[in-house]
């Protein structure tokens, strides 16, 4: 069987409920001819958009996720959204440790771990984002940073919890902080592949040989110019896109371009 390739977008703090719905309807309609057996499409909208997002007509064609999650089922945690609440929406995945959560909101590896454990306890796919800052890259400690984020982030997750049958329930996004968002500089495909190899080796260390099967996605200024060279790298299983995906037509074009290059 062909290895799956993954394309997803994080809508960050953009798009109203109505705009999100239009985006999802358009994207699922444009991509409905693509065989989902070797292709996963996912979208991570704002919390307020989720109740309408899960009701779209083509719900089966897209995985939907939340951008963050509290780690307790309930309690005195003002402003947090719990796994139980997200479960009511029948979401597929939860993103944990996005660079903006870590660097704007001060989240720690330990807390990301609590969220990963809570996500898996409740059956969600946990999409853990990791990545070094520009300063850490300058100081030549990127590999150490990535390994720390993975080893602490996945602490106490047993190998069998990383899968549901054959389906990987742990996904990793490599998102170098210096590459993300406005002013970000995309990582070269060569550089990204070396870091994906570090991540892959660490996943095998943590989860055994099946660590090879866990998807590792690249994110950080993915655009139509670099998508093809990134997707063909051995350890890059998918692309996690921000700005270049927020127009459904453009995202569809990018996906088609990259899929074609990957021989799909």
Q: Which residue, 98 or 200, has its beta carbon nearer to ligand 13P?
A: 98
The DSSP symbol for 76 reads S
Min CB(84)–ligand 13P separation in Å:
25
Min CB(241)–ligand 13P separation in Å:
5
| Residue numbers at the binding site for ligand 13P (CB under 6 A) | 10, 98, 175, 180-181, 184, 219-222, 240-244
The whole-angstrom separation of Cα 187 and Cα 218 is 9
Structure tokens at 127: 């999409």
SS3 236: coil
Helix runs in the chain, H state only: 17-30, 50-53, 83-87, 99-103, 109-121, 134-138, 142-153, 189-207, 227-231, 248-261
Indicate if 98 belongs to the active site: yes
Closest listed residue to residue 65, CA positions, set 130, 117, 15, 11:
11
The residue from 107, 175, 193, 196 that is catalytic is 175
Indicate if 72 belongs to the active site: no
H or E, element range at 105: none
Min CB(210)–ligand 13P separation in Å:
25
CA atoms within 13 Å, Cβ hemisphere of 163: 15
Q: Which residue, 127 or 150, has its beta carbon nearer to ligand 13P?
A: 127
Min CB(232)–ligand 13P separation in Å:
19
Residue showing the smallest CB distance to ligand 13P in the complex: 242
The residue from 98, 107, 132, 193 that is catalytic is 98
Q: Which residue, 109 or 175, has its beta carbon nearer to ligand 13P?
A: 175
Catalytic residue numbers, as ranges: 98, 175
């Amino acid at each position: 069987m062909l290895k799956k390739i993954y394309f997803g977008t994080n809508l960050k703090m953009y798009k109203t409920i109505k705009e999100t719905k239009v985006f999802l309807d358009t994207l699922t309609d444009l991509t409905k001819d693509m065989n989902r057996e070797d292709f996963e499409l996912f979208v991570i909208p704002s919390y307020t958009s989720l109740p309408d997002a899960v009701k779209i007509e083509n719900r089966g064609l897209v995985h939907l996720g939340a951008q963050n999650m509290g780690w307790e089922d309930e309690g005195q945690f003002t402003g947090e959204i719990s796994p139980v609440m997200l479960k009511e929406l029948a979401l597929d995945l939860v993103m944990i440790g996005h660079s903006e959560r870590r660097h704007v909101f001060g989240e720690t590896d330990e807390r990301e771990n609590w969220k990963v454990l809570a996500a898996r306890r409740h059956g969600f796919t946990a999409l853990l984002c990791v990545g070094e800052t520009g300063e850490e890259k300058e100081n030549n400690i990127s590999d150490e940073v990535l390994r720390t984020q993975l080893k602490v982030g996945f602490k106490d997750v047993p190998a069998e919890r990383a899968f549901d049958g054959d389906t990987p329930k742990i996904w990793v996004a490599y998102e170098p902080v210096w590459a993300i968002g406005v002013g970000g500089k995309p990582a070269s495909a060569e550089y990204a592949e070396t870091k994906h190899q570090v991540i892959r080796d660490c996943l095998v260390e943590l989860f055994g040989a099946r660590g090879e099967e866990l998807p590792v996605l690249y994110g950080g200024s993915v655009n139509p110019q670099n998508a093809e060279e990134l997707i063909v790298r051995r350890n890059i299983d998918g692309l996690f896109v921000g700005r270049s995906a927020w127009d459904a037509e453009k995202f569809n074009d990018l996906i088609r371009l990259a899929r074609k290059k990957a021989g799909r």
